[in-house]
Structure formats: C-alpha cells, structure tokens
Amino acid sequence: MSDYWTAYAESLADPDGFWGKQSALVDWVRRPERILDDRSAPLFRWFTGGRLNTCANALDRHVAAGRGDQTAIIYDSPVTGSRARLSYAELLDQVERFAGVLRSLGVGHGDRVVVYMPMIPEAAVAMLACARLGAVHCVVFGGFAAHELAIRIDDARPSVLVAASCGVEPAHVVRYLPIVDAALEQAQFPPQHVVVLERQQEPVIPLRANVVDWRDAMAAAEPVEAVPVAATDPLYVLYTSGTTGRPRGVVRDNGGHAVALRWSMTNVFGIRPGETWWAASDIGWVVGHSYIVYGPLLTGATTVVYEGKPVGTPDAGAFWRVASEHALAGMFTAPTALRAIRRDDPEGKRIADYDLSALRAIFLAGERLDPETYEWTARHLGIPVVDNWWQTETGWPICANPQGMPGTSIPIKAGSPTRPMPGYDVQVLDSDGGQVPAGEEGSICIRLPLPPGTLPSLWNDDARYIRDYLTTFPGYYATGDGGHFDDEGHLFVMGRTDDIINCAGHRLSTGALEAVLATHSAVAECAVIGVHDDIKGQVPRGLVVLKAGATVDETQLARDLVALVRDQVGPVASLKRVDVVPALPKTRSGKILRRTMRGIADGRDEPIPSTIEDPAVLDRIRTTLLAP
C-alpha cells in the first residue's frame, strides 16, 4: 500500500481505480460490474453487480484458510466475573446454528431482526447470523427505554426480536424483559417471535408461549450456509439516538461496508490479522458495529467484548488491566472514558500497575477530544493518542491520523483528528456554499460521492436522506459539524451546528428530550440545552415554563420530569437538572435562543442578540443558568 498522500490523491482523482483495487481485500461470489455507480446521483452506490456474504468474509474464509483455532472473541466481564474465548471455528459454529434458529422462525433475505442485548458474545452471534442469512439486523442499545425500542420496532417492522433476560451494571441488574414487554405493547407492528437468552443473573421461568429459549433453539437448530447477497443489499439499519417522530435509520450496505472496514482496520488503525484489538464501546452504537464486530473479524484479528466500565469495575485501572491481560495491539474508546479515569486517578498511578508494552496506539472518537485529555493520555501512556472523527452515518473515520500506512508520518495536534481519509473530500463552507480560508470556521461538508461504507440512504426514505443531508449545500453531504482547517491542512472539529447534544459520545436530540418534557400536564413550553460537563463533554439541562394557573412544587416537578425522561428515553439521556422559569428567551420570529443559553451556561459572556424579543427574559434566564 502506498503512503497517505498518494492514496488520498488517487482516491479523489480516480475513485473507481482506487476502490476497485481495495475491493480485492474481501472475497466475492461474483465480482462487481461497476465500482462507483452514479446513475442515480445524488444517491450513489458502490460495487453494483457484485455478490458476497459479509458473515462468510468475517468467519468462513478464516476457518477455510486454516486459522479456525485462532481466538476470534475474548469475552471479558468484570461485572459478572466472567472470562471466555471463542475461536473462529467455535464462533462460526454458533453463528451457523443461530442462523438456523432464525431461519426456522421464518427469517430470510431482506427480513429485519431487532437485537436488544448487552455486551455479551451472543450479541455478535445474532448480528453475524442475520448477515449470514442476508437478513437486516437493527441493534438497539440496551440502555434505551421501552418507548425508544417501540418506535424502532415500528420503523423496522422486524419478524423476530432477539433479547437477553438482563444487562448487568456494577451495582444492579437491568431487567430487559419488562422493557421488551412494554415495547411490544406500545408497538403497532410487533414481531411474531421473540428469542430470549436467559442469563443466570435474571432467570425467566416460565417462558411465555410466544418466546423462544435461545439455548433450546440452538440445540435443535440445523446449521445454515452463507447466503450470497448483492453488494448493495442492506446489512443493517442503525437508528441515530434521540430523534423525534419517525426515527432516522442509517442504512449500511454489504459490499462497501466490508471493503471500507477491512481497509480501515489495517490502514487507519494499523491492526493486522492475528493481533488483538479492543473497541471499548457498545454494540448498540456504530463503533460497536464497525470495530467490535465487523472490522476486526473481517481482518482476522481478535476482538474484545467487554462488559464493564472504565471506572468502578473495580477501579480506574480497569482499561489498563484489559490492555495488559489480553496484550492489545490497539484500543479505541471515547474521551469521556478517559476523563472518568483521569478524575479517579489524576496522577495516572494505575497505569504503572500494568504491562502495556504491546499497546502501539490508543484511538479516541465519539466527541471532541479536548487538549487536556489528550495531553494527560499521551503523557502517561507514551504512545500515539489518535483522535478520529466520524459519524453513525459514515460508519468509519472521516478524519484520522493513519497508523498503518507505510511511509506516512503526519504530526498529531491536540484538538484535531488530523486529515481526511481516502475517499472523503472534506471542505469547510460558508453559508453560501463557498470554501472558507484556513483558520476561518464554517460548516464541515464532504463533496459527493461519499466513499464506500458510508450510508447510501436512510431506511425506506431516500427523500429524507436528500432533504436532511444533501440539500443545504448542493453537491455536498452536510455533516452538521462546524470547524476549520489550519494552515497545514489539519481539521479542527469544534461542535455541532444543530441542536444535538453530544453526551459521552451519544448524540441526543434536544427536540426528543423536549418532546418528553412537554407531555407533563403542568408544562406549557420547554427547552433543553447541552451544557459543558468535565466527564461527559455535554449533558442536557432542561428549562420549563408552567401553564397559567398551574400550582406545583417545583422541586418535585423537577424530579418528576427527570424520571419521565429516564422512562421515555432511558438513562443514556443523563438529564439530571430541570429548572422552572417564567419565560424562555426568543427571537421576534419565535425561535428559542438555545445557542445563547448554552454559552451563558458554559460561562461565556454572550452578547444579547439584536433579534431578541424581550432582553429582560434573557437576564432572568442568565441568573437561573449561573445558579449553583
């Protein structure tokens, strides 16, 4: 492989040639007829005419090559005190048989399966079994409440839901089945079958008539061979978190996804077949899809499935224990995790307790990497700390510092994810769509076409995909993030340009949280803003205006509203403070001044906008936001 500079230039000048060569990284049942298919632009497709199976590329080909005894998955669960290893041959056997379970329940090519499971190997088995059948999996994060699960069920309309009986937290067990039952009652299109994996922490005896026991079904299942599918067929749908109304389902295709992830594991992350890698995320998020399950297994690496926390399981040395015990070559986490570790171990003393000699680099993404966290990590680990920036929609890094490209040495700068990766023509634009000079902030956009592995569209909604992403700047994909390039071509991503809260790497729509607050009988109107938090980056804070004549205990109301959001959205929302205010600051056209309120809450001296309807309202809000 050539160095970064050559590869990047070729990927933009000749995408057919560049990605055509990279397509040889995966096994095809039938080679593609076209590499880049632009016949329906701005909806682009990659590798049309090609046929393959993602599961076969992740498992079968490694076993066939004589590497079946190599460890595929290391399960490490400090919350249950469990450790386990699955070889490629053992994982393939489980996936073949669970694909048989799904087939016996009527699942076939194109059918959807919702997966609602914690961080256990069976979650990866369920995903890969869907891929084996050509079915479409929709993984829903186990922290989501029944309402969020229900709206995803109704959008995907699955024929089967796969769940575990519980998740395990450091201090308690999260019972999944009551959440599943409530979601099925709320859903208009509930699945015909539910498969439940019973965990010893939460027995489910007796099972209801329409529930299939995982282990019993596996014992009776017939193994299933991999089903070839079109490269453009969907592999999965992943819903972006916290959307209002109909959720936004990001589609990932089979062909482009397999090629991009196989390329990125080696070239971006520097991981080779046989090495051990850990992405400290959850399968409910895109990092879990791309770099816990598919990327490492497509590469023939060993991947860690971790059921625990960065601190408290048992202490701030948890991550370093995993890295040492499993001799990680690379690991991936979010800045939030490192901030939590630094909070509990500010001097980095626990790092010295472990042998981290195998660890070549640590990769961070999910939110902006603040310079303080970067400096602390780099100082104590003494290895490259590589910020990389991407989105659920793109599926793999837009910008990074490539660690696996020979002859490439690009300086790392605190606060920057470095440079665009091959295939991503990143531009910073002003409001009129013109490119801004270095050092000037604007909207970060990507010139079409997006590279392989990115979303071709939204689930059953091409029009919404075009409207939400491709219309603001014609010819470009609008990332929704703002930032700037410096004089050396390093990109600095400064934050969202829309009303999205990035809480510990999880994108939460302020509108979704406001919709829940507004359901309370005492609330006339409300606003949710994201305010700075030293650990999570941002956390939501609610402001509510009471209905005329409403008489309530404001302290109790705040508790009730926090509980309501927790019930409707889930603990992932992290809403802990709601204040009652007499009015919300607005423009004369009625737009709530969320950006101004965010700045005040974060301690900035925000000027009073000229468009404000009543400056006195903002003064009262300022007092509330700055109160301890």
pLDDT value for 611: 58
> In percent, how much of the chain has pLDDT > 90?
72
Distances (CA, A) of 587 to 272, 584, 613, 618: 55, 10, 5, 11
Q: Is the pLDDT of residue 319 over 50?
A: yes
Q: Is the pLDDT of residue 528 over 50?
A: yes
Q: Is the pLDDT of residue 347 over 60?
A: yes
Nearest to 455 by CA among 601, 203, 251: 251
* Three-state DSSP class for residue 587: strand
pLDDT value for 370: 80
Q: Is the pLDDT of residue 244 over 70?
A: no
Rounded Cα distance between 308 and 294, Å, is 21
Q: What are phi and psi of 477, to 5 degrees?
A: -90, 125
193-197 and 160-164 strand pairing: parallel
Residues 142, 241: contact at Cβ < 8 Å?
no
Residue 40 is classified by DSSP as T
Beta bridge partners of 363: 332, 386
Residues 177, 211: contact at Cβ < 8 Å?
no
Rounded Cα distance between 352 and 368, Å, is 27
Nearest to 131 by CA among 169, 163, 164, 91: 91
DSSP per residue, 217-280? HHHHPPP-PPPPEETTSEEEEEEPTT--SS--EEEEESHHHHHHHHHHHHHTS---TT-EEEE-
Rounded Cα distance between 578 and 409, Å, is 48
Beta bridge partners of 305: 75
Beta bridge partners of 30: 51
Select the more confidently predicted residue: 620 or 502.
620
Rounded Cα distance between 326 and 270, Å, is 17
The per-residue pLDDT of the chain, averaged, comes to 92
Q: Is the pLDDT of residue 407 over 80?
A: no
CA geometry: angle 103, 107, 113, nearest 5 deg: 125
* Three-state DSSP class for residue 336: helix
Alpha helices per DSSP H over 481-536: 510-517
Residues 417, 388: contact at Cβ < 8 Å?
yes
Q: What is the mean pLDDT of residues 374-392?
A: 96
Rounded Cα distance between 232 and 48, Å, is 6
Set out the domains of the chain in order of their start, with CATH numbers. Answer: 4-308+388-447 (3.40.50.12780), 502-626 (3.30.300.30)
Q: What are phi and psi of 469, to 5 degrees?
A: -120, -25
pTM: 0.87
pLDDT value for 140: 95
E strand segments, 107-164: 112-116, 136-139, 160-164
Nearest to 19 by CA among 391, 407, 453, 457: 453
* Three-state DSSP class for residue 45: strand
Helix axis angle, 121-133 to 88-104, nearest 10°? 60
Rounded Cα distance between 468 and 478, Å, is 8
pLDDT value for 88: 98
Query: The tokens of 32 are what?
Result: 């593609």
Nearest to 120 by CA among 49, 174, 156, 69: 174
Rounded Cα distance between 293 and 100, Å, is 20
Rounded Cα distance between 388 and 562, Å, is 33
Beta bridge partners of 447: 425, 476
425-429 and 442-447 strand pairing: antiparallel
Residues 292, 118: contact at Cβ < 8 Å?
no
Residues 496, 482: contact at Cβ < 8 Å?
yes
Alpha helices per DSSP H over 334-477: 335-344, 371-381, 462-465
pLDDT value for 538: 85
Q: Is the pLDDT of residue 1 over 60?
A: no
Distances (CA, A) of 224 to 60, 92, 103, 293, 626: 12, 10, 8, 20, 61
DSSP per residue, 59-116? IIHHIIIIITTSEEEEEEETTTTEEEEEEHHHHHHHHHHHHHHHHHTT--TT-EEEEE
Residues 231, 32: contact at Cβ < 8 Å?
yes
> In percent, how much of the chain has pLDDT > 70?
96
Cis peptide before 417 (omega within 30 of 0): no
Q: Is the pLDDT of residue 2 over 50?
A: yes
Q: Is the pLDDT of residue 117 over 80?
A: yes
Rounded Cα distance between 38 and 283, Å, is 32
Spatial neighbors of 103 by CB under 8 A, at least 6 apart, are 133, 222, 224
Nearest to 45 by CA among 455, 472, 479: 455
Tell me which of 190-199, 460-469, 487-496, 552-561 is least confident: 487-496
Torsion sign over Cα 262, 267, 273, 277: negative
CA geometry: angle 167, 168, 171, nearest 5 deg: 140
* Three-state DSSP class for residue 616: helix
Q: What is the mean pLDDT of residues 489-494?
A: 91
Q: Is the pLDDT of residue 245 over 80?
A: no
Select the more confidently predicted residue: 277 or 148.
277
Q: What is the CA radius of gyration of the chain?
A: 24
